[in-house]
């Protein structure tokens, strides 16, 4: 299992989040569509390199620190 200490990225795609950050909080990780709906519902900041490609085309990057904050606030940690 990957730990948060090894992740130093500021932005990551959904696939990168599912490989690195999400397994540190959830096991098994949710489906890609489920994760996207959750991040959109929680208004996690995202960025697209090509701002003109509003629909379709181009990758969408999410703020890794915002995703970590979301899961830290919603996940119970053992005492």
pLDDT band at 1 (very low <50, low <70, confident <90, very high): very low
The confidence score (pLDDT) of residue 27 equals 86
State pTM to two decimals: 0.73
Q: Which residue, among 63, 57, 58, has the nearest Cα to 17 in the 3D structure?
A: 63
The confidence score (pLDDT) of residue 32 equals 92
pLDDT, tens digit, 9 for 90 and up, residues 65-74: 999 999 888 7
pLDDT, tens digit, 9 for 90 and up, residues 7-59: 556 899 999 999 988 998 888 999 999 999 999 999 998 888 776 666 666 78
What residue segments make up the domains of the chain, in order of their start? Answer: 4-74
């Amino acid at each position: 299992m990957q730990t948060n200490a090894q992740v130093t990225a500021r932005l990551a795609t959904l696939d990168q989040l599912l490989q690195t950050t999400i397994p540190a909080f959830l096991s098994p990780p949710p489906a890609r569509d489920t994760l996207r709906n959750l991040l959109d519902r929680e208004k996690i900041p995202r960025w697209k390199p090509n701002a003109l490609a509003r629909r379709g085309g181009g990758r969408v990057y999410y703020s890794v620190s915002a995703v970590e904050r979301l899961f830290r606030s919603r996940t119970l940690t053992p005492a």
